[in-house]
Structure 1
Amino acid sequence: MTKADNIISKYIDSFILPSPPLSPLWNQESILYGKPPKWNYIDNCMITALLMLYDVSGDKRLLDYSVKFIDTYVTEDGTIPTMNFADYNLDNINGGKNLFRLWKLTGDERCRLGFEKLWYEQIVRHPRLSCGSFWHKAVYQDQIWLDGAYMVLPFMAEYAKLHDMRGVTEDVQRQFTDIRKIMRDPVTGLYYHGYDDTNTMCWADKITGLSPEFWLRSNGWLCAALADTCEIASDSSALRQQLASLLHDMCSFCTDDGMLLQLPARAELEGNYPETSGTLLFAYSALKAARLGICGDDIRTAGKKAFNTVTEKYIDNSGDIPLLKNICLMGGLGGDACRDGSAEYYLSEKVVENDGKGIAPYIMAYTELKKIQ
């Protein structure tokens, strides 16, 4: 058994499976800020990871826990009582991917009804920018955030494939293309975290509408969004090229040991640090891209190196429960605190251990390593 095998086993046995679905041990935002239980993207990232691990391990406990989790939040008719469609929050669509997977695995009708409600009650009605891309949330109107691509576009690709909706497939590809045209920096190849179509937000450049910095995890979300969508829409050469280009450009910002910094292009800044959740999203995407034939051995090697460095240097495995370190708790733009998107802002956000936004990508990257061995 490798060290990574041991870490995964400990996480499953001592941390994840014992977690009550209404108060999971991995949701540090809910724990630290006393948030009430509700359908959210963080918990659903963990369920996604567990279902990926189930695919490679066959451990039925993972499937059973995932079913128990979904049953806690989704009623028999597919309603999610703790979710408000009027929020038009792309984060809430993330769990729809798990409804697809569990429906295919179990045939549970509540899952099918659930993802159909997400489609008709939110996706069909979701407000869009002038370019056609979705608003990130109702409270962030006329804005694109990279995070949203991961939350919604693979779900749409899956829905389009299930129902043979070519127009939806084209919509997904166009939204990825718009993100590239609008938010990619041609010098570094990295993507800015946010874009404001009105150029009026406190964080937005008054000419370009772009936020000022490249935040690692947002680029990691985009990588994972592209990788997952490429697996679903395997014939999309444009998406494959976009993913290959982003992974190649991110590689140039890896440190000698394979890690990426919270602000990848600002290595000179005091307080900038190797951030694990974004590095692991990169590792997951690199390993998946290599498995799908999108990238070659250089990208596979970079993904594996990043995963191994996190395993060796950023996880304390001395206790019954491993401790994954250097996870940025959250990152956003605007809002009541008017987060200005500056380097100082991103480096001021709380750094935590054992948050789902780090553990889930660790498990996801681990499953990809298992698939290519």
Structure 2
Amino acid sequence: MRGPIYAATFAAVLFGAPVTASNYGNHGHNKPDSQRMASSIIARGQGIMTGLGGSSEALQAGFVQKAFTALSEYYHKSGEPYAQYVRESATSATEFLANASNNALSYPMDRLSNGNAALALSHGKGHDSYRATADALRESIDLNRRNPEGGLWYFVYPYWSYLDGMYSLGPFYSLYTFATTRIGSHSRVKALDDLLYQFETLWEHCHHHSTGLLTHGYDFRKTAVWADPETGASPYVWGRSLGWYTMALVDTLEILEKENAPHKYRKAFLEKFQTLMPAVVKAVDKCTGGWWQVIDQPRREGNYIESSGTAMFAYSLLKGSRLGYLPHKFTPAAKKVAIRAQKYLTKHFVVEEADGTVGYNGTVSVCSLNSTASYDYYIHQPILYNSVLGSAAYILASLEVERLGH
């Protein structure tokens, strides 16, 4: 059975001779922003699963893998250290993510972010552990608990679905489906229908009509303290959760286009992306060029510009522009806003360290709906230094700027 076109592209950059640790040490100023941050992540040993990082450790590994794979694909002549690190991160994940039942019970849907690299590395002899991990992650989607209308629970919180999980679900679910099912087969159609349904269900519950944005998630039973009595939606638009969703749309759409998926799927994802991104641009802070932690409460006391969500929106806008997914008349403004955001991040959140690496500041820690989900809750969650949820997003945004020659 053929592997997908897109997965084959990943595999081409992920194989190669091992690289010694000394190759990771060049953090020099001559490197582009994306590579400087990536080399610094490697120097800090981030994105490697150890079993000690809690339930979010799988997401940290998977997000690093995705950012570094993008680097390796673009900077193919100098990208081997990043490709090697993807292999190291993916290898570490095989120890923890090769059991489907445990995956579904022990990790949020973010675990699926590790599936892209595992699937790409699974081709060829001697790579059974990667294939076992990819298969287990795919099976864990079927084992994941769902609400009565079929929406996937984000984690263990009963009947709650989050935007956050779509970034990990969409690209992996589509890649695996194209790699393992035949064109037109019932199993392929069923999987693609389910994939689209997850995005559409979140949209229907969480779409914020006054802003055009989506709130963090919803409770199917509408019994959570924060749940809207009619839709079950949470009350606020949290920047990073919306960032996960916008990145999920553009990354999944890219795969659907490359794999020549049936028109109805490509059309549905494209329409959502084209509807949502103008609202994202409208929500940007005009003074700084960044996006607020609580996007729909601009300049409210306690609110602040948050660095991970800002990077995610910049990436989504620039990649969507590059691939032609945004309306033609809207594209120049979208690119201008996104480039300004990346420059703002570089100036205000990238920190030069004494050892030659660069740090990344201003990234909020985990914000969960297992809370009051109040405005006060969102603005008082800790700010983390060198969180890869921010720095990996910065790599992706910076890489898109570098593609433009800026």
**How would you bin the TM-score normalised by the shorter chain?**
0.7 to 0.9
Is 2:369 aligned against 1:343? no
- How far apart, CA to CA, are the structure 2 residues paired with 1:327 and 1:111? 31
Listed as ranges, the gaps of 5+ residues in structure 2 are 1-26, 183-187, 258-262
Q: How does 1:41-190 map to 2 (within 5 A)?
A: 41-58=59-76, 59-74=79-94, 79=98, 84-87=103-106, 89-103=108-122, 108-120=127-139, 122-137=140-155, 139-162=156-179, 163-164=181-182, 165-190=188-213
Structure 2 vs 1, CA of residues 371 and 105 (structure 1 numbering), >3 Å: closer, same or farther?
farther
Q: Is the contact between residue 83 and residue 92 of structure 1 (CA under 8 Å) also seen in structure 2?
A: no
Question: Aligned-pair distance for 1:231?
Answer: 0.4
Q: Of residues 316, 340, 343 in structure 1, which corresponds to 2:351? A: 316
1:281-304: CA deviation from partner (whole Å, max 9, x where unpaired): 101111111111011222222222
Q: How does 1:216-255 map to 2 (within 5 A)?
A: 216-234=239-257, 235=263, 236-255=266-285
Question: Aligned-pair distance for 1:22?
Answer: 5.0
- How far apart, CA to CA, are the structure 2 residues paired with 1:103 and 1:243? 31
Indicate the residue corresponding to 1:366 in structure 2: 398
Structure 2 vs 1, CA of residues 135 and 169 (structure 1 numbering), >3 Å: closer, same or farther?
same
Q: Which moved more, 1:291-300 or 1:357-366?
A: 291-300
- How far apart, CA to CA, are the structure 2 residues paired with 1:118 and 1:344? 35
1:28-64: CA deviation from partner (whole Å, max 9, x where unpaired): xx9xxx7469851112211211111111112211111
Runs of 4 or more above 6 Å deviation:
1-4
Q: Is the contact between residue 205 and residue 232 of structure 2 (CA under 8 Å) also seen in structure 1?
A: no
Is 2:225 aligned against 1:194? no
1:257-279: CA deviation from partner (whole Å, max 9, x where unpaired): 32000011212311110001001
Identity percentage of aligned residues? 25
- How far apart, CA to CA, are the structure 2 residues paired with 1:366 and 1:161? 29
- How far apart, CA to CA, are the structure 2 residues paired with 1:103 and 1:17? 27
Query: Secondary structure at 1:94's aligned position in 2?
Result: helix
Q: Is the contact between residue 50 and residue 62 of structure 1 (CA under 8 Å) also seen in structure 2?
A: yes
Equivalent position amino acid for 1:196 in 2: D
Indicate the residue corresponding to 1:328 in structure 2: 364
- How far apart, CA to CA, are the structure 1 residues paired with 2:44 and 2:283? 38
Equivalent position amino acid for 2:357 in 1: I
Question: Aligned-pair distance for 1:89?
Answer: 2.8
Equivalent position amino acid for 1:49 in 2: A
Listed as ranges, the gaps of 5+ residues in structure 1 are 25-29
Indicate the residue corresponding to 2:19 in structure 1: none
- How far apart, CA to CA, are the structure 1 residues paired with 2:28 and 2:322? 21
- Count of matched residue positions in the alignment of Structure 1 and Structure 2: 358
- How far apart, CA to CA, are the structure 1 residues paired with 2:57 and 2:380? 27
